[in-house]
Chain A
Amino acid sequence: MISYELIGITVLWLFLYGYLIVASIDFGAGFFAYYARLTKQDHLINRLISRYLSPVWEITNVFFVFFLVGIVGFFPDTAYYYGSSLLVPGSIAVILLAIRGSFYAFENYGSKESIVYLFLYGATGLLIPASLSVALTLSEGGFITEQAGVVSLEYFKLFTSPLSWSIVALAIVSVLFISGTFLTFYASRAADQSALKLMRNYALFWSTPTIIAALTAFIYLSQHNERHFQNMMDLWWLLALSVGFFMLALWLLYSGRRYGLAFIAVMLQFFCAFFAYGIGHYPYILDPFITIQEGATQESMGIALVIAFIGGLCLLIPSLALVFKLFLFDADYVKGKK
């Protein structure tokens, strides 16, 4: 019988992976929309982007809150350590998320188009993943100290750490690569040739930086947290699979066919890498303060959360399927006929 805290962390990690994918599409789309406007190519893709994003942006945001509430629920100690140390960076992330969400709604459901809104939308699309990725850096340990009951963050160490910057870089380029691949696929479904060509170029352009940033972050991780690095090396087959899926996606994008499969390959690439990272992190949630076993909530609460989660999924999966059916796989909607 697998223990409830393991179920908990697995579920949360799956959710974080879900957020990584859907949020990357959203964040990257913001950047591409702004960049296309700057280079006067916005007429090609902005309609496509808004057609996809309009019905789903709130869903994206909820994925994040889900992870947040879930991790505090399953592992209340995370609230104490991360909450105390992340007051400032966390608040910055909140403000960026607030600006992004509301400005998107103002622009989209309001009336007038505004370059300022679009700029904020594009800029926050890169800044949010950068600020959120700080939490991953902190989890490696060495940046948070606890002295006499006061938890604090060592900003100088964080800002001068090559690990933290390599993770930030990885977050940003991954966002652009995932988003580029998805929008290529979406453009091909909409049979929009000019948008397809542009998005395919973006996707191909950001593919190589993604793999370079991943390798760089991996090397810096080996210097910062030897244990985590070794654990991940033991999972070499997952990393190899990840690279394999990356090559497949690249080949499909390059040869210009099966864009849907290319996007699935990218999803699997990140799935393998993300789980290799996560499993390698075990048993720590925050090295060395919180482990999965000791940081877990009471058993009764853990079980209640797992049951609530299963019940919730039974409601959500059919609803999400309906959304996908109506907006993602309905060819007429995608083409703008509905």
Chain B
Amino acid sequence: MEIDTVLWSRLVTGLTLTFHVIFATVGVSVPLMIAIAEFVGIRKKDPHYILMAKRWTRGFVISVAVGVVTGTAIAMQLALVWPNFMKLAGNVVALPLFMEVFAFFFEAIFLGIYLYTWDRFRNPYLHWLLTIPIVAGAGMSAFFITTVNGFMNQPEGFVLEAGHFAAVNPIEAMLNTATPSKVFHVLTSAYMTGAALLAGIAAFTIVRKGATAYYKKSLNLMMGVVLVFGLLTTVAGDVSAKFLAEHQPEKLAAAEWHFETESGADLIFLGWLNAEREVMGALHLPKALSFLAFGDFNAEVTGLNEFPPDEHPPLIVHYLFDFMVSIGFLLLAVSVLYFLFVLWKKRNQHNKLLLWIIALCAPLAFLAVELGWFYAEVGRQPWIIRGYMRVEEAATSSPNVMPLFFVFLLLYIVLGVLCAIVLRRLFRNNPADAEFERYMQSKPGEGERT
């Protein structure tokens, strides 16, 4: 019975986070894309980009709404489903949680202003300036929340006395060892994913309805962002792996099925384990794990067998890790290929196959974000606060968690479907080129918002 409640608690939280992460990623990344598009539009005096910023904003507010409500849900679920965790950790991580709300508040205020002031400033840069607090607020929200996750992995900034955290240093807890690599990775991958989403939409529309100036520009701009943040995400992934190797070796070892400590360790890709826990059918990259972990092909990498068996993370994380990394490299490769085609005149960057692949990259990017978070969370098991509190000690004792899982599942299905329907209706009946013509005719009078 006890185990069941814990499992259902994990499932409820996992469900909410899985759903929330989609909208959180959009919420963090799309403001930057809007800011870039509006800036380019003002700079080049090209109304296509201005319209791009407007249309993206319109879609963005709907996804923000779902992000706000699921964010509220997770904020309440932390206390409702994990009361013992919040009682203990609340003493140490309340500061970033509190500041996250401030950051979001800030973002929400300026988003409200941004939405309703398209035509209220004479100098267009003044309106563009409003995107800065939105982008910064969204980025800071991501930063603060990620520090809490960092704390769960690297609890620092306190002394444990008789089951309570004492001598608390909130700043030290917030800027724990895990924070820099995690924040870097979360932000770069979010920006890459947001750009991949918008590029995917543009590519898909070109395939279906033919290439128009609006979508070509949109595709080009966003592929540029994918390229830049694809490179940065690769660096961030490398930094994260080096962090894990040094500070949380069991998590990296589990992801790599690296059981025995050895020098010059191989990187294992895919494969499976037989009954004796031997790796079968995998692709071995000689000594690559040592290089990934320490930047030295002969470095010694700690194996999972150094840790007590009841503290091993589930070995399934190997696949989560491998697929996440593969998708990341795929996105980078696709954006490089796109720009090679752009530069190499003989090839057409708008050929159907490439466009289809770009369109496919959008859902794949979100899948990679999900897999990355699954890896981060499942890879920390059995701990909720690594080394201090196990997941089963943190969960609620209430037996009602199981039905709640299904209620929330239903809620998220309804919200997700409605969100998709509303977004579809918003844009399908109002294609960009038709709107562009209306926009050019109505300029410089009333804006098109009603």
Contacts and interface: CB of A to CB of B under 8 A. Distances in A.
A49 to B, nearest CB: 15
Interface of A: 54-56, 58-59, 61-62, 64-66, 68-70, 72-74, 76-84, 86-88, 90-91, 93-95, 97-99, 101-106, 109-112, 149-152, 297-298, 300-301, 304-305, 308-309, 312, 315-316, 319-320, 322-323, 326-327, 333, 338
5 contacts: A64-B72, A69-B100, A102-B69, A105-B61, A312-B105
A152 B398 contact: yes
Interface stretch (B193-201, B233-241, B300-308, B421-429): B421-429
Contact of B62 (A72, A82, A105, A300): A105
B87 A101 contact: no
B342 interface: no
B182 to A, nearest CB: 20
A55 B87 contact: no
B109 A316 contact: yes
A152 B82 CA distance: 15
B62 A94 contact: no
Interface stretch (B115-123, B289-297, B435-443): B115-123
Interface string B102-120: 1011101111110111001
A70 B120 CA distance: 36
A239 to B, nearest CB: 32
Contact of B429 (A82, A90, A111, A315): A111
Given A88-B400, A102-B65, A105-B62, A55 B115 contact: yes
Given A68-B79, A111-B429, A297-B94, 15 more contacts: A55-B115, A59-B108, A69-B94, A69-B101, A79-B79, A87-B404, A109-B58, A110-B422, A305-B94, A308-B98, A312-B105, A315-B106, A316-B106, A326-B116, A327-B112
Contacts of A315: 102, 106
B86 interface: yes
B70 interface: yes
A70 B116 contact: no
B422 A87 contact: no
A81 B91 CA distance: 15
B125 to A, nearest CB: 17
Nearest to B86: A79
Interface stretch (B35-43, B322-330, B411-419): B411-419
A322 B111 CA distance: 12
B332 interface: no
B76 interface: yes
A71 to B, nearest CB: 9
B166 A298 contact: yes
Given A68-B76, A319-B110, A297 B69 contact: no
Given A102-B66, A312-B99, A312-B102, A301 B91 contact: yes
Contact of A72 (B70, B81, B94, B104): B94
B86 A80 contact: yes
Contacts of B101: 62, 65-66, 69
A204 B78 CA distance: 41
Given A59-B105, A83-B396, A104-B65, A76 B76 contact: no
B355 interface: no
Given A55-B112, A58-B64, A83-B396, A300 B79 contact: no
Nearest to A299: B168
A97 B101 CA distance: 17
Interface in B277-319: none
A207 B429 CA distance: 46
A109 B61 contact: yes
Nearest to A117: B418
